[in-house]
Amino acid sequence: MKKLKDRLSFQTPPLTFGDVANQPPLIAFSPVVIEFLDTLSREILSSTEAKAYPDLASFAFACRKRNIKKLSRAYGDTDDKLLVGKGLVLHFTPSNVPLNFAYSLFAALLAGNSSIIRMSSKDFPQATYLTEVISKTLQMPNFKVLSDMIVIIKYEHDEEITGYLTELCDIRVIWGSNATISSLRSHPLPPHSYDIAFHERYSVSVISAEGYLSTDESQMKRSALDFYNDTLFFDQNACTSPRVIYWVGEQDCVSKARDRFWSFFSKVAYEKQYRNSGNLVVDKFVSQCHTAIDVNAKQLSLTGELITRVELQDLNLSVEQYCPAGGFFLEYGSDSLVELNRLANDKKLQTISYLGIEASQIVSALNSGQTSGVDRIVPIGKSADFELNWDGYDLIHQMTKHLVIK
304 and 230, same structural domain? yes
Query: Which pLDDT score, from 0 to 100, does residue 243 have?
Result: 93
Three-state secondary structure of 183-226: HHCCCCCCCCCEEEEECCCEEEEEEEHHHHHCCCHHHHHHHHHH
76 and 182, same structural domain? yes
Check whether 315 has a pLDDT greater than 90: no
181 and 315, same structural domain? no
Is residue 124 domain-resident? Answer: yes
Query: pLDDT category, 182, cuts 50, 70, 90?
Result: very high
Residues ≥6 apart with Cβ < 8 Å to 167: 190
Query: Which pLDDT score, from 0 to 100, does residue 77 have?
Result: 63
Question: Do the Cβ atoms of 289 and 251 come closer than 8 Å?
Answer: no
73 and 47, same structural domain? yes
Of the candidate ranges 4-18, 53-67, 141-155, 177-191, the one whose mean pLDDT is the lowest: 4-18
CATH number reported for the structural domain that contains residue 158 in this entry: 3.40.605.10
Query: Which pLDDT score, from 0 to 100, does residue 291 have?
Result: 75
Nearest to 305, CA basis, from 283, 323, 322: 283
Q: What is the mean pLDDT of the chain?
A: 91
Query: pLDDT category, 231, cuts 50, 70, 90?
Result: very high
Query: Which pLDDT score, from 0 to 100, does residue 252 have?
Result: 96
Query: Which pLDDT score, from 0 to 100, does residue 389 have?
Result: 94
400 and 375, same structural domain? no
Per-residue pLDDT tens over the stretch 208-226: 999 999 999 999 999 999 9
Query: Which pLDDT score, from 0 to 100, does residue 302 have?
Result: 55
Is residue 384 domain-resident? Answer: no
270 and 148, same structural domain? no
Question: Do the Cβ atoms of 187 and 163 come closer than 8 Å?
Answer: yes
Query: pLDDT category, 395, cuts 50, 70, 90?
Result: very high
Is residue 119 domain-resident? Answer: yes
345 and 397, same structural domain? no
Range of the domain at 121: 1-200+391-404
Is residue 120 domain-resident? Answer: yes
Number of separate domains in the chain: 2
Check whether 104 has a pLDDT greater than 60: yes
Average pLDDT over residues 129-134: 97
Is residue 12 domain-resident? Answer: yes
309 vs 283, higher pLDDT:
309
Is residue 95 domain-resident? Answer: yes
Of the candidate ranges 224-238, 274-288, 355-369, the one whose mean pLDDT is the lowest: 274-288
Query: Which pLDDT score, from 0 to 100, does residue 298 have?
Result: 67
214 and 169, same structural domain? no
pTM of the model: 0.89
Check whether 299 has a pLDDT greater than 70: no
Query: pLDDT category, 304, cuts 50, 70, 90?
Result: low
Task: Spell 323-348 as b/e; 16+ CB within 10 A means b.
Answer: bbbbbbbbbbbbeebebbeebbebeb
Average pLDDT over residues 145-162: 95
Query: Which pLDDT score, from 0 to 100, does residue 308 have?
Result: 86
268 and 138, same structural domain? no
297 vs 198, higher pLDDT:
198
CA distance 302 to 311: 12
Query: pLDDT category, 95, cuts 50, 70, 90?
Result: confident
Which amino acid belongs to residue 86?
K
232 and 190, same structural domain? no
Percent of the chain with pLDDT over 70: 95
269 and 167, same structural domain? no
Which amino acid belongs to residue 25?
P
Query: Which pLDDT score, from 0 to 100, does residue 305 have?
Result: 61
Query: Which pLDDT score, from 0 to 100, does residue 255 have?
Result: 94
Is residue 385 domain-resident? Answer: no
Per-residue pLDDT tens over the stretch 356-391: 999 999 999 998 778 888 999 999 999 989 999 999
Is residue 386 domain-resident? Answer: no
Task: Spell 62-93 as b/e; 16+ CB within 10 A means b.
Answer: bbbeeebeeebeebebeeeebbbbbbbbbbbb
CATH number reported for the structural domain that contains residue 275 in this entry: 3.40.309.10
Query: Which pLDDT score, from 0 to 100, does residue 127 have?
Result: 96
327 and 226, same structural domain? yes
